[in-house]
Structure 1
Amino acid sequence: MKAIIVDDELNARLSLRGILEENFPNIIIVAESKDVPSAVTAIHQCKPDLVFLDISMPGYSGLELLKFFDESQINFKIIFVTAFSEYAINAFELSAVGYILKPVRIDALEKALHKVIMDNDNDLEKLKTLQTNMESPLDKKVALNTGDGITFLELHNILYLKADGSYTHFYTTDRHRITVAKKISDFERLEAMGNFLRIHRSHIVNLCRIQKILKQDGGMVIMENGDTLSISAERKNGLYKKFEDFKL
């Protein structure tokens, strides 16, 4: 598999190259680039299968790389190599893209390589979703693997999530239910990306879609679609605190 490393830091490029050459001999580095324009040239010339891409670079962000290609020219996978914060990690996870954090660890690199090589889903749409999640505060999305493909769901269209063993059901404003083969705990990171809160071991709710909070029977919320969800005792104070500033 031919690969290109794109990073403005020389030491970062050399470090990643060394790890790959020593531990992943099937990955052949055919070029290195220090910015997006030179990466575009290298991709056209070398036609790589894989691009290791930093995000924060002078001139153009790594997220802007795809702007220089027609969709028919994007025949390569991308693994982001980044030192970004927890906020950005949430964006990567919700967008279902491949990424590794600096400093690069061999086990994380192996996991990312397996993910992008085995994944035949719509990479371009996932990358567009990542850009939205990183740059737009209003239109964030989550990429949900539904078995027959990936559903891209805008966060503001989610009413709530409901746990069902090793599965999670997403209930939406258009009265659809989307089921994914992940535990609800895997989606707690939504709390850092939008107005979401886990109010019970079985429920994560969109706070903007709560219609009413009831105090009887230990506490419940009524969602916009009329569904009533329980609030666990240990999470009740956290929910009330979220709405303290809105009380009249």
Structure 2
Amino acid sequence: MKAIIIDDENKARSLLHSMLQEHCPDITAYFQADELEQGVAIIKNEQPDLVFLDIEMPRYSGLQILDFFDNQPVDFQIIFTTAYNQYAIDAFKLSAVDYLLKPIGHEELKQAVQKAIDLKDQYSITNNLQELKKSFKTLAANKIALDVPRGLLFINHSDILYMEADGMYTTVYMKGDKKELICKPLKHFADQLEEGALFYKPHRSYLVNINSIKEFNKKEGGHLLMENNAIVPISRVKREEFFEIIKELF
């Protein structure tokens, strides 16, 4: 049985390789790649039986692997290796494609490999990957992923009070007096949430959750009082639009 490990972290690849050699004797040949395109090229040339695939990598996410196999059979099993937290694991459980949560334990590794060996149906493999992609679209419809130093933090839209721009950074204010400074501009989040009725940009430096507005005060040109008693300005050119949206929603 042949396997490939696709992960942008050299240490993670080496550790998983060592664990497989020690605990999974069914795997007799190994390949490695540090990004998805290189991994796909190896898969097409070497035709491994099993792919250990990281999700969060530069350029392409592991979840995009099917995009490289249009109209081609997917005749390998995939085990995702991920540092995602419990929210993401809920999405993984919606499909039969397996996952390993980093740091990987040897018992979980052995069980995942055995599961991959047992699952041989080629149609099921392709279908399961499609279901996984659908699961993440469902997750994205209700949550937002924040890049934090420890990994990825998945937050319900309803738990966000507002976001404030700080140059190329954004501070995300959440319920429970929590906040996170994210190394992305406010536009990144505004574009991501523009189709959601919950969020509105009353000022170039702010994006607010409409359901978290406690009061509109018309003093000093107008401002919004949020649930945490923070004051968010509303620009004059946005006031009329704001009242139209409120009228439609409430």
Shift of 1:75: 1.1
Name the residue aligned to 1:41: 41
CA distance in 2, matches of 1:55, 1:137: 15
Shift of 1:66: 1.4
Q: Deviations over 1:189-235 (max 9, x none)?
A: xxx9xxxxxxxxxxxxxxxxxxxxxxxxxxxxxxxxxxxxxxxxxxx
CA distance in 2, matches of 1:101, 1:138: 20
CA distance in 2, matches of 1:109, 1:71: 31
The question of 1:30 aligning with 2:30 is answered: yes
CA distance in 1, matches of 2:55, 2:105: 18
Percentage identity across paired residues of the two chains: 43
Q: 1:126 aligns with which of 114, 128, 140?
A: 128
Q: Within 5 Å, give how 1:85-234 maps onto structure 2.
A: 85-121=85-121, 122-137=124-139
Shift of 1:72: 3.5
Query: Residue type matched to 1:69 in 2?
Result: F
Count matched residues: 142
- What secondary structure does 2:93 align onto? helix
Name the residue aligned to 1:18: 18
Shift of 1:67: 0.9
CA distance in 2, matches of 1:138, 1:67: 19
Query: Contact (CA 8 Å) 2:23, 2:110: kept in 1 or not?
Result: no
The question of 1:58 aligning with 2:58 is answered: yes
Q: Deviations over 1:99-158 (max 9, x none)?
A: 111111111011111212112451111111111111344889xxxxxxxxxxxxxxxxxx
Query: Residue type matched to 2:129 in 1?
Result: L
CA distance in 2, matches of 1:28, 1:81: 20
Query: Residue type matched to 2:130 in 1?
Result: K
Name the TM-score, length of structure 2 as normaliser. Answer: 0.53
Change over 3 Å in CA distance of 1:118–1:139 after alignment to 2: farther
Query: Residue type matched to 2:54 in 1?
Result: D
- 5+ residue gaps, structure 2: 143-155, 157-250
Structure 1 residue ranges, 4+ long, deviating more than 3 angstroms after superposition = 70-73, 136-140
Shift of 1:44: 1.3
Shift of 1:29: 3.8
Which stretch of structure 1 is more off in the superposition, 48-57 or 108-117?
108-117
Query: Residue type matched to 1:133 in 2?
Result: S
CA distance in 2, matches of 1:138, 1:52: 24
CA distance in 1, matches of 2:115, 2:128: 13
Change over 3 Å in CA distance of 1:65–1:131 after alignment to 2: same
Tell me the C-alpha RMSD between the 2 structures: 2.2
Query: Contact (CA 8 Å) 2:76, 2:125: kept in 1 or not?
Result: no
CA distance in 1, matches of 2:2, 2:15: 18
Query: Contact (CA 8 Å) 1:83, 1:102: kept in 2 or not?
Result: yes
CA distance in 2, matches of 1:80, 1:138: 18
- What secondary structure does 2:80 align onto? strand
- What secondary structure does 2:32 align onto? strand
